[in-house]
Amino acid sequence: MADHTPSSPRFWRSRAEQAADPAFQEPLQREFEPNSAHQPEDPAAGMSRRRFLGLLGASAALAAGAAGCGRNIDRGDIVPYTRRPEDGLPGRAMWYATSSAEACWVFPLLVKTRESRPILIEGNDSHPDSLGAAPMRAQAELLGLYDPERLQAPAKAGATESWDNALAALASGMGKGKSLLLTGAVVSPSRQALLERLAQSYPGVEIHCWEAAAPHGALAASQQLGAGQLLPRLNLEKARVVLSLEAELFAGEGDLPRQIRAFAAARRPLTHGEATPEGMNRLWAAESRMTLTGGKSDHRLALRSSALPALAFALARRLNELGLAWPGAPLSAPSLAEFAKAEGLDGKLLELLAQDLKQAGPAAVVVAGNQGSAALHGAALVLNRMLGAEGNTFSWRPAALRPLASHAEMSQLGKRLQAGEFATVVLAGVNPVYDGPAGLDWAKALSGAGERFHLGLLPDESAAACTWSLPLNHWLECWGDHMGGLLQQPVVAPLYDTRALDEILLNLLAKGGQSVPADGLSWLKGLWQAEYARQGSPLAFDAFWHASLQQGFSATAFPAAPAPVLSAGALTAWSAPMAASKLELTLHADRRLFDGRGANIGWLQELPDPVTKCTWGNPLSIAPADAKAQSLKDGDRVMLSSGAQSLECTVLVQPGQKVGTCALALGHGRTALSVAEGIGVNAFTLMQGGATLLPNVSLAKATTTAMTHTTQEHQLMEGRDIVRSLPLASFAAGETGAPSHGAHAGGQSEGKGAEHGAAAAAALATGRDHGLKQKEEAPLTLYPDHEYLGHKWGMAIDLSACVGCAGCVIACQAENNIPTVGPERVDEGREMHWIRIDRYYEGDEENPDMVFQPMLCQHCDHAPCENVCPVAATTHNEEGLNQMTYNRCVGTRYCANNCPYKVRRFNYFSYTGELAAVLQLAANPEVSVRPRGVMEKCTFCVQRINEAKNQAKAEARPLVDGEIKPACAVACAAGAITFGDLNADSEVARLSQADRRYKVLEELGVRPAVTYLAELRNPLAAGGAHES
């Protein structure tokens, strides 16, 4: 066969080709270049042949198409679809500012919608109380909106009715004779205006506000002083010394993002190893049960709840001895030393506490727990007054716009109801059958009223006791406003045939003969316009209104109240000593469900409690010593009796629980609602007269056992270098917090003597070199290192800032379509959270140290998961992300076995396929929903990274540091999580070089992309933070 070279083809089209004439070959080459049609054309050459053919074909197709269409339409102009949809672009997220309220507290929020459906709730990043963080229940309300059990149309005795009939019945019911309207705390000025006018049209109506787990003690204390119902509004950023009297500062209910953010700001003096002039704050906690506050504290005093007021008064006496004036008449309280002796506490430590408070003066604050008694709140008030803290570290605010009913008042109402005093009862967003004061059968009491209206979202316990059911809009579907100038916009049209409560009230007013607008927006806008006019601003109202809506709030200060004047009578009442009993029970709001309002939301039920790590239920926390004495262990069932009432609970042996005390969370034990029903026990049934501290309770071991549904079965670090936590003074002395050969952590700090935090920080500022630096040499590796030419994503987690609140867990769950699996699956160890908060105890079981560590995929550079996957479903990308390709995953689970951090989650069943259709609306369309049989894990919110990159690319600019925030980082009120590009001049790159940096399991050489910053504590005495 004739040989041929490329330059002389075997077959040739012309002699020029055969001769390999470049003049022939050059155009030949160009023709078959990819995209040759898109090459810039030479205008001089005119239209190319390819383009000409293309246009010819297109014209012919168009002509044929037009001719075809022409036959089917009438003569006349046709109008193309040139306007984009009214509400954003399909495929692009729209964000709206709104706000929500929970009991006495209000939260500025942002809601992300896609194709007009809300898919994510975050904090309003332009509001100083939030800066992006939202409390976990506000985030989880997304599922509340899409709850498949929501009531969908008005009904009478189970039969669907029209709204006209329902509203007519409501108006006539409230019009005749006496009626009772029960609603939750009113923190909305526009709602309050409506309720005030309601009384004008319906003179027989009594309006009461019921919040079962509001801080009734605090309200009672201020009421006893004749100051109305007041609450302290903390300014923790100014507090150098904080004393918590069984307060949950970082979890449960309250001004959470605000408190966490402020505390963390004052806690974090050493961002990059630089000392701030103020130094680090100090947190003291005195409590009987283990709270997150106690876990985060620098000194924790474990003592009976019944001794807490006495502790405060003993401290007050000591402060007086130290030169602070008594507020009002001098009190006779035991001395601090006597108190310490009586309670078996370390007198020296109490003395240090008194000195610390005295030294901080107005920069100290004493916070009593929301569920604390009036005496406890009164005692805190006394201390704060002596310290001069009011107006500095906290200010007074009205609890709500209408007074809240106390338990006694509510019981009275119940009795009057039962006696048939009210012809009509209207329950607007309250559920007394579940949470009404104990000692009364509320279903029976309600039946004393002939007409019973339930205005709510869900078919709860009280709905079953009512004749009428008027379904309400979810707050994401209504207009409204809240104290502090917050506006509430609806972000989605009502999903069902439901009405906003305000609109029902407006309808009642209209029926009562008042001229009011029919819709909530007009009412709200009218009120705001009137107020705006009253203030006499020169700007047009519409511009103000538009700007406020867009921002979510107007720049109105939170309403303040004058400080209450102490009275001798109240002081005497508060300082009356409480008798000790063998076993006392503290009832407290659940850290996840508060008073039970999030109970039907699977995300909240399955969230591990930040302290106990239990999901789905409320085990009874008992002290380790008591457990030993009664031979009880986790999961044993006990009959808990208080007076005539008893409850069968599951036992949880809780380190840190004071001997002789036990604690039980409210908000569980529902008898309605499919998610919540039968989970835990209803502690409200024990709450006689509103008492949250029950003396003389008894436990009787039952024969059965149950699961505590915990996600963390082992509570100790086993001496391993996992969470580094050390006193500030030790850190300043060059320690790292790493255990020395698995021995006692931080042991070397003993005997250093008391070194004040500010002094230690000053020592730091001198630029001491830390031992950490020497650890930096890269470990040997078999595999070549990855090269990161562009971005290299990384994260830094400041354990000093983290308070363990688990807000990030819910945020991650909402952002990444993470399923809930239910209590049985949790017991099997199959929960799906991509980020978990590891909580370890250290030291004495009776009063241990508690440390937290958010644990998520570490996106290792040498990820052990990557090289074991046989099908290459988990791989490393060029920006350092450890990627999970769900489509490719076969499900060998080898990756998860080989993950030293155990952060991978496997879909053992199809969790998402079984979701109700309406719940699927909550899914984030940017994140794949995973089928059964595949592995999943944290992606660093890769969808957010890509969105930001696309945005930057579209705007032809480089990415800005801080532009990309994973869901967890946004939700972290403490600002503990920093994400960014390690290859850039970024915050995360600086933090990754901070003196406190370390990597978890660094010795394995997997090179995680997550850097932890060791936790610093600021105890006064050296050598361990907690003593009893």
Helices 807-815 and 136-145, axial angle in degrees (round to 10)? 30
Q: Is 743 in the site for another protein (CB under 8 A)?
A: no
Which of these segments, 138-146, 216-224, 968-976, 1000-1008, binds another protein (CB under 8 A)? 1000-1008
Which of these segments, 56-64, 434-442, 893-901, 960-968, binds another protein (CB under 8 A)? 893-901
- Interacting positions 833-852 with another protein (CB under 8 A): 836, 838-840
Residues 505, 194: Cα–Cα separation, whole Å: 7
CA angle 660, 665, 668 (to 5 degrees): 140
Q: Name which of 738, 711, 743 is nearest 722 in CA terms.
A: 738
Q: How far is the CB of 407 from another protein (least distance, A)?
A: 39
Inter-residue contact 784 to 1000 (CB < 8 Å) = no
- Interacting positions 933-992 with another protein (CB under 8 A): 933-935
Q: Which is nearer to another protein, 721 or 755 (CB)?
A: 721
* DSSP line for 359-392: HHGGGEEEEE-TT--HHHHHHHHHHHHHHT-BTT
Q: Is 892 in the site for another protein (CB under 8 A)?
A: yes
Q: For the chain, how big is the Rg over CA atoms in Å?
A: 32
**The residue type at 411:** S
Residues 669, 620: Cα–Cα separation, whole Å: 13
Residues 446, 836: Cα–Cα separation, whole Å: 43
Which of these segments, 38-46, 899-907, 917-925, 977-985, binds another protein (CB under 8 A)? 899-907
Size of the residue set binding another protein (CB under 8 A): 58
Type and span of the H or E element at 919: helix 917-920
Which of these segments, 184-192, 444-452, 876-884, 888-896, binds another protein (CB under 8 A)? 888-896
Q: Is 88 in the site for another protein (CB under 8 A)?
A: no
Q: Which of 577, 909, 1002, 1028 binds another protein (CB under 8 A)?
A: 909
Q: Classify residue 899 by its DSSP letter.
A: -
Q: Which of 131, 440, 443, 1004 binds another protein (CB under 8 A)?
A: 1004
Q: Which ranges of 87-162 would DSSP assign to H, the alpha helix?
A: 136-145
Q: Name which of 871, 872, 892, 897 is nearest 882 in CA terms.
A: 872
Q: Is 1009 in the site for another protein (CB under 8 A)?
A: no
Q: Which of 22, 870, 956, 985 binds another protein (CB under 8 A)?
A: 870
Residues 874, 858: Cα–Cα separation, whole Å: 14
Which of these segments, 166-174, 360-368, 578-586, 867-875, binds another protein (CB under 8 A)? 867-875
Residues 980, 791: Cα–Cα separation, whole Å: 9
Inter-residue contact 319 to 558 (CB < 8 Å) = no
Q: Which of 360, 504, 593, 1000 binds another protein (CB under 8 A)?
A: 1000
Q: Which is nearer to another protein, 525 or 836 (CB)?
A: 836
Contacting residues for 412 by C-beta, under 8 A, at least 6 apart: none
Q: Which of 55, 56, 576, 871 binds another protein (CB under 8 A)?
A: 871
Q: Which of 734, 864, 925, 1023 binds another protein (CB under 8 A)?
A: 864
Q: Which is nearer to another protein, 439 or 719 (CB)?
A: 719
Q: Which is nearer to another protein, 897 or 951 (CB)?
A: 897
Q: Is 742 in the site for another protein (CB under 8 A)?
A: yes
In DSSP terms, which residues pair with 426 in a beta bridge? Answer: 181, 453
* DSSP line for 584-595: EEEEE-BTTTBT
Residues 973, 255: Cα–Cα separation, whole Å: 11
Residues 543, 553: Cα–Cα separation, whole Å: 13
Q: Which tokens belong to 973? A: 């009120």
Q: Which of 556, 712, 740, 748 binds another protein (CB under 8 A)?
A: 712
Q: Which is nearer to another protein, 496 or 908 (CB)?
A: 908
Which of these segments, 30-38, 218-226, 697-705, 894-902, binds another protein (CB under 8 A)? 894-902
- Interacting positions 776-835 with another protein (CB under 8 A): 825, 828-831
Rounded-to-10 torsion of CA 385, 389, 393, 399: 20
- Interacting positions 53-82 with another protein (CB under 8 A): none
The residue behind tokens 């709730």 is 121
Q: Is 357 in the site for another protein (CB under 8 A)?
A: no
Q: Which is nearer to another protein, 174 or 821 (CB)?
A: 821
Q: How far is the CB of 939 from another protein (least distance, A)?
A: 18
Q: How far is the CB of 904 from another protein (least distance, A)?
A: 8
E strands within 502-635?
584-588, 620-622
For 966, the 3-state DSSP assignment is coil
> Cβ-count burial of 443 within 10 angstroms (0-12 exposed, 13-18 middle, 19+ buried)?
middle
**The residue type at 75:** R
Q: Is 720 in the site for another protein (CB under 8 A)?
A: yes
Q: Is 628 in the site for another protein (CB under 8 A)?
A: no
Q: Which is nearer to another protein, 551 or 712 (CB)?
A: 712
Inter-residue contact 435 to 684 (CB < 8 Å) = yes
Q: Is 718 in the site for another protein (CB under 8 A)?
A: yes
Q: Which of 64, 540, 716, 754 binds another protein (CB under 8 A)?
A: 716
**The residue type at 1004:** L
Assign 3-class secondary structure to 702-714.
Answer: EEEECCCCECCCC
Q: Is 176 in the site for another protein (CB under 8 A)?
A: no
Q: Is 1001 in the site for another protein (CB under 8 A)?
A: yes
Residues 1011, 795: Cα–Cα separation, whole Å: 6
Contacting residues for 430 by C-beta, under 8 A, at least 6 apart: 182, 183, 184, 210, 462
Q: Is 1006 in the site for another protein (CB under 8 A)?
A: yes
Q: Which tokens belong to 277? A: 């002039």
Q: How far is the CB of 9 from another protein (least distance, A)?
A: 31
Q: How far is the CB of 1027 from another protein (least distance, A)?
A: 24
Q: Which is nearer to another protein, 427 or 722 (CB)?
A: 722
Q: Which is nearer to another protein, 426 or 799 (CB)?
A: 799
Q: Is 391 in the site for another protein (CB under 8 A)?
A: no
Q: Is 284 in the site for another protein (CB under 8 A)?
A: no
Residues 909, 884: Cα–Cα separation, whole Å: 18
Q: How far is the CB of 708 from another protein (least distance, A)?
A: 14
Q: How far is the CB of 975 from another protein (least distance, A)?
A: 23
Q: Which of 319, 855, 922, 1013 binds another protein (CB under 8 A)?
A: 855
Q: How far is the CB of 1001 from another protein (least distance, A)?
A: 6
Q: Which tokens belong to 344? A: 């078996």
Inter-residue contact 254 to 105 (CB < 8 Å) = yes
Length of the chain: 1028
In DSSP terms, which residues pair with 553 in a beta bridge? Answer: 486
Q: How far is the CB of 819 from another protein (least distance, A)?
A: 12
Q: Which is nearer to another protein, 963 or 1002 (CB)?
A: 1002
Inter-residue contact 925 to 114 (CB < 8 Å) = yes
Q: Which is nearer to another protein, 307 or 832 (CB)?
A: 832
Q: Is 872 in the site for another protein (CB under 8 A)?
A: yes
Which of these segments, 41-49, 251-259, 392-400, 865-873, binds another protein (CB under 8 A)? 865-873
Q: How far is the CB of 965 from another protein (least distance, A)?
A: 25
Q: Is 744 in the site for another protein (CB under 8 A)?
A: no
Q: How far is the CB of 754 from another protein (least distance, A)?
A: 32
Q: Is 868 in the site for another protein (CB under 8 A)?
A: yes
Q: Is 907 in the site for another protein (CB under 8 A)?
A: yes
Q: Which tokens belong to 254? A: 């309250």
Q: Name which of 457, 607, 590, 501 is nearest 147 in CA terms.
A: 457
In the complex, the residues that contact another protein under the rule CB under 8 A are 712-720, 722, 742, 825, 828-831, 836, 838-840, 853, 855, 864, 867-872, 888-894, 896-898, 900-902, 904-910, 931-935, 1000-1001, 1004, 1006
